[in-house]
Chains A and B, each alone.
Chain A
């Protein structure tokens, strides 16, 4: 039986969402779809200068105005969704996969391995995230794989700590002791006994970490250290057009709204998850 079959999706288990959670989910799905089909629905090529005016207003021809070079903002936001959502998703999956696996291993093995790993990762967490990104990008330059790995490295310790705390609790439960007495191996205990019982909270944690990663990625791009021109994620779009701010140009407002809509709706969705999913281990 594969793991995917046992994911606690709301429909299968009969959990229902309230309307705030549903709105959040709808916005998340909207941006996910945009990120996938972006190139086909963008009205103009995102890199082409199509407007003779710069910081153009919203009009029938350019729905969200144009940027400092006269490029269409709608097309650039649609393409930016790919970078923002894609990079953040890859980074959060990497961070949580690493953190959860290490956390479960540390909880099951215990002893000095647990202590040493926890201390080391806690120390790593003592570096402010944005600062860490700044230093790494200063050192090795900015490219998309480096961004993904850096962001994942920033959030792995937090994910580890969260998963370890949950796994330690599950590890002391009777059914785990029984499995051990039955003679089950290390892999079985981690994958079959512990993992299904921490999955719900871990998924909620993944959502929150996704928000943090989107924020730090936008921050890095805003400082000019994230996605490099001519490509641009939403943070870079704000940076490019920041001079239009005093004109109140739509070119700087709409990318900001795009970031906010994504992060706020993920928060709304996570906050309104049915409590039985969030706190399954309790």
Chain B
């Protein structure tokens, strides 16, 4: 397929917008955390600190410099991989994060592998037999999952799989992954809960995208000339709905970001989100900032990816 220059200009524009957004987001994250009531140096030294000690620590930490200067040096540090030191345990944030990030990415990867085939099959089937009992069942289930909080999906999963069926232990997931069985157990509940949340979105959006294509005149034409429903949907509608569906997949994967925060907390899964929630309770600012940036970047990445897929797959969007 020949892509015109305007396509690439549009894609470049999207990338540019994403970068500007990232800048604004980092600005927001930095200044939101700077609003912390009370001085960081005072918080760190505790109530017994003398004014001289606080002043000394402020100078040592560079807190005396203007906020905008600190923001720029923080941003420069982020770009070069220097994420600063954790206030609480005096370790480099990058070291704290590296292992955790792998854990979270592994969880997200497994969920994606589980979700995408299941959600696409169900979404396409629901759209193909629209109005059937299958469609209704899928719709009711997805709407129910979407309209309850993520932690409730996880809670329900525990109730069903741990309390009633007694297949998996409830709320007791350690880090030990020495044997295959232990590893499966450690991953099963978080993966199940997250998969429900993400695939509900994906099924709904896939179904909507396909139905929109089915409603076009040329698909109706296929039906009128006598094509079977299967042929009409899979042969005529689906190829043209692939772009919107890929868009829907990328968009629903961005729900991983919110879901993972809740799910890691519930199951005590040692990932970035758990680290961040713990950092919030100890008010460990550099750690919070870095974690927030990781989540914002992955969220933006998925949304921008969805946009670019939409532009590349639909010539009508590149006027």
Residues of A that sit less than 8 Å from B by CB: 119-120, 122-124, 126-131, 134-141, 211, 215, 218-219, 222-225, 235, 238, 242-243, 245-246, 248, 252-253, 256, 259-260, 263-264, 266-267
Decide: A131 near B155, CB < 8 A? Known: A215-B149, A259-B148.
Answer: no
Contact B148 A222 (CB under 8 A): no
| B144→A131 contact, CB < 8 A | no
Considering the complex, give the chain A residue whose CB is closest to the CB of B280.
A138
Bound complex: CA A136 to CA B31 (Å): 10
> A140-B35, A218-B151, A238-B152 known; 13 other A-B pairs, CB under 8 Å?
A126-B300, A131-B261, A135-B29, A137-B280, A138-B283, A139-B35, A140-B37, A222-B151, A248-B159, A248-B163, A260-B144, A264-B147, A266-B147
B155 and A219: CB pair below 8 A?
A: no
| Residue contact A131 to B148, C-beta cutoff 8 Å | no
CB proximity to A under 8 Å, residues B1-52: 17, 20-22, 24-25, 28-29, 32-37
Please give, as numbers and ranges, the residues of chain A lying within 8 Å of B242 by CB-CB distance: none
CB-nearest residue of chain B relative to A248?
Answer: B163
The residue that A141 contacts in the complex, of B20, B37, B299, with Cβ under 8 A, is B37
- What are 12 A-B pairs at a CB distance below 8 A? A124-B24, A131-B258, A131-B296, A134-B280, A135-B288, A139-B34, A139-B36, A215-B149, A223-B262, A245-B170, A267-B143, A267-B147
B89 interface residue per 8 A CB criterion: no
Nearest-CB residue, chain B, relative to A215:
B149
Interface residues of B in 108-123 (CB under 8 A from A): none
**Complex formed: what's the CA distance from A264 to B143 in Å?**
8
B257 within 8 A of A: yes
List residues of chain B with CB under 8 Å of any chain A CB. 17, 20-22, 24-25, 28-29, 32-37, 143-144, 147-152, 155-156, 158-159, 162-164, 170-171, 254, 257-258, 261-262, 265-266, 276-277, 279-281, 283, 288, 292, 295-296, 299-300, 303
Given A131-B292, A218-B149: A252 and B280 interface contact (C-beta under 8 Å) = no
Please determine whether A223 and B36 come into contact, CB atoms closer than 8 angstroms. no
- Chain B residues within an 8 Å CB radius of A266: 147
Q: CB < 8 Å: which of A120, A137, A219, A245 contacts B159?
A: A245
Tell me, in angstroms, the Cα distance from A136 to B277 when the chains sit together. 12
Interfacial chain A residues near B151, Cβ < 8 Å: 218-219, 222, 235, 238
Known: A135-B29, A248-B163. A263 touches B280 (CB 8 A): no
Chain A residue numbers with a CB within 8 Å of B258 are 128-131, 219
Question: How long is the Cα–Cα vector from A36 to B254 in the complex, in angstroms?
Answer: 37
Residues of A within 8 Å of B163, CB to CB, are: 245-246, 248
Q: A215 to B158, alpha carbons, bound, how many Å? A: 20
Among the interface residues A122, A124, A126, A223, which one has the most CB atoms of the partner chain B within 10 A?
A126
**Which single residue of chain B is at the shortest CB-CB distance from A245?**
B158
The CA-CA distance from A211 to B36 in the complex, in Å, is 30
Measured in the bound complex, the distance between the Cα atoms of B254 and A198 in whole Å is 30
In the complex, the answer to whether A135 meets B149 with C-beta atoms within 8 Å is no
Query: CA A127 – CA B117 in complex, angstroms?
Result: 28
User: Cα distance A256–B149 when bound, in Å?
Assistant: 9
A252 to B155, CA, bound (A): 9
Which residue of chain A has its CB nearest to the CB of B158? A245
A263 touches B148 (CB 8 A): yes
Q: Is the CB of B257 within 8 A of A256?
A: no
CB distance from A260 to the nearest CB of B (A): 5
Given contacts A134-B277, A245-B159, contact A126 B303 (CB under 8 A): yes
Interface contact B149-A246, CB-CB below 8 Å: no
A69 to B159, CA, bound (A): 22
* Chain B residues closer than 8 Å to A243, beta-carbon distance: 171
Minimum CB–CB distance from A151 to chain B (whole Å) comes to 14
How far apart are B75's CB and chain A's nearest CB, in angstroms? Answer: 16
Cα of A260 to Cα of B152 in the assembled complex, Å: 9
CB pair A224–B281 under 8 Å, yes or no, is yes
Chain A residue at smallest Cβ distance from B163: A248
Residues of chain B contacted by A252 (CB below 8 angstroms): 155
Give chain B residues whose Cβ lies under 8 Å from the Cβ of A242: 155, 171, 266
CB distance from A136 to the nearest CB of B (A): 6
A123 lies within 8 A of B25 (CB): yes
Expressed in whole angstroms, the Cα–Cα distance for A136 and B33 within the complex equals: 7
CA of A115 to CA of B288, assembled, Å = 32
Judge whether A126 and B296 touch: CB under 8 Å: yes
With contacts A124-B24, A246-B170, A264-B148 taken as known, whether A135 is within 8 angstroms of B33 at the C-beta atoms is yes
A127 near B159 with CB under 8 A, answer no
The smallest C-beta distance from A267 to any residue of chain B, in angstroms, reads 5
B-side contacts of A140, CB under 8 Å: 35-37
Q: Could you tell me the distance between the alpha carbons of A139 and B150 in the complex, rounded to whole angstroms? A: 24
Shortest distance from the beta carbon of B144 to any chain A beta carbon, whole Å: 6
Contacts of A263 in B (CB 8 A): 147-148
Cα–Cα distance between A138 and B20 once the two chains are bound (Å): 25
Residues of A within 8 A of B33 (CB): 135, 138-139
B279 neighbours in A (Cβ, 8 Å): 138
Most B CB within 10 A of own CB, among A120, A127, A242, A243: A127
Question: What residue of chain B has the Cβ atom nearest to residue A255's Cβ?
Answer: B152
Q: B265 — which chain A residues lie within 8 A by C-beta?
A: 222-223
A268 to chain B, nearest CB (A): 9
